Chains A and B, each alone.
Chain A
Amino acid sequence: MTDDKQPVKKMSIIVSRGSLDGIYPALIMANGARMEGIEASLFFTFFGLNALANKTLDSLKVSTVGNSALNMAMPMLGLPMTMPFPTWMGAIPGVSAFATHLMNKEMEKLDIPPVREFLELISDSGGKIFACKLAMDMFKLKKEDLMDRVDGVLTVGDFYNESAGAGTHILFT
């Protein structure tokens, strides 16, 4: 280890996915940064906006179709990790909802809050929450359609300006 280790001062995290399993890692990383005294900004783009839109954010699902990393152990079915989750099974109505229910239950046990509460927690802790302007235009969303803790709607250029400074790390999820 060297003595000139530069500390991480700020995490700018881009969230581009809209499934429950696509969004949580970014929220956990942002909250974890704030807990360590590191600044945090979240920039939601493309399907990541699902996490901010009032209509979708309370009912995000685990993706059980086309999710090749999903295995029978992950939604806590108690089966081995080596057993893949068959795509045909994921397509059956209700399976995604059931997998989501199981995952939410496990997360609650670990004191991981639901998405809305998590965003409020990050906002209360001084983290910033931004929506991508281009994606907003594309999905015909207005600021009023988003949850109340959104700090602003930014262009990509605004986002880079917002991330400026030595010690900032930009992370794409």
Chain B
Amino acid sequence: MKKNIAGTEIDVNEEGYLTDMSQWNEQIAAAIAVEEGIGALGDGHMKVVRYLREQQAKGAALTIRSMGKSGVVTTKELYDLFPGGPLKKSSKIAGIPKPVGCI
């Protein structure tokens, strides 16, 4: 389905995750962050978002454990940056699919 985010028509799934990560830009990230209740995105958020996009492009499976070990962010920081769903919300903002794992 299509959704207008930050003035652009974007392809998303029924949960609002981008289905084509190449349609993403920082304005879209900012708009999703507000919608998700995260508010304005700072450097800390953007570091995570960029890392997620890099990993997704490589085809790596993302887990909360691998994020904590990435050196980009600690587990605590990740929970502080994206309260209410660290991996889910950061993935949505990063324009990548919803993480499928349980860890």
Contacts of B63 in A (CB 8 A): 111
Asked whether B1 is an interface residue with its Cβ less than 8 Å from the other chain, the reply is no
Contacts of A125 in B (CB 8 A): 64, 75-76, 79, 86
Tell whether, in the assembled complex, residue B79 and residue A111 are in contact, meaning their CB atoms are under 8 Å apart. Answer: no
Tell whether, in the assembled complex, residue B85 and residue A124 are in contact, meaning their CB atoms are under 8 Å apart. Answer: no
CA distance A36 to B101 in the complex (A): 12
Q: Mark A103-137, 1 if CB is under 8 A from B, else 0.
A: 00000001111000100010011100000000000
Contacts of A32 in B (CB 8 A): 102-103
Given contacts A36-B85, A36-B88, contact A111 B75 (CB under 8 A): no
Given contacts A112-B103, A126-B79, contact A121 B65 (CB under 8 A): yes
CA distance A112 to B61 in the complex (A): 13
Chain A: interface residue total (CB-CB under 8 A): 16
Contacts of B75 in A (CB 8 A): 121, 124-125
Query: How many interface residues does chain B have, given as a range?
Result: 10 to 19
Asked whether B39 is an interface residue with its Cβ less than 8 Å from the other chain, the reply is no
Asked whether A35 is an interface residue with its Cβ less than 8 Å from the other chain, the reply is yes
Asked whether A19 is an interface residue with its Cβ less than 8 Å from the other chain, the reply is no
8 A Cβ contacts from B49-83 to A: 61, 63-66, 68, 74-76, 79, 83
* Minimum Cβ distance to chain B for residue A148 (Å): 15
Choose among A35, A110, A117 the residue that contacts B86 (Cβ–Cβ < 8 A): A35
CA distance A46 to B74 in the complex (A): 32
Given contacts A35-B86, A126-B79, contact A28 B102 (CB under 8 A): yes
CA distance A36 to B98 in the complex (A): 12
B residues whose Cβ falls under 8 Å from a Cβ of A? 61, 63-66, 68, 74-76, 79, 83-88, 101-103
**Extra inter-chain contacts (20) besides given A31-B103, A35-B88, A125-B76, CB under 8 Å:** A28-B102, A31-B64, A32-B103, A34-B79, A35-B86, A37-B83, A37-B84, A110-B101, A111-B61, A111-B63, A111-B101, A112-B65, A112-B103, A121-B64, A121-B65, A124-B68, A124-B74, A124-B75, A124-B79, A125-B75
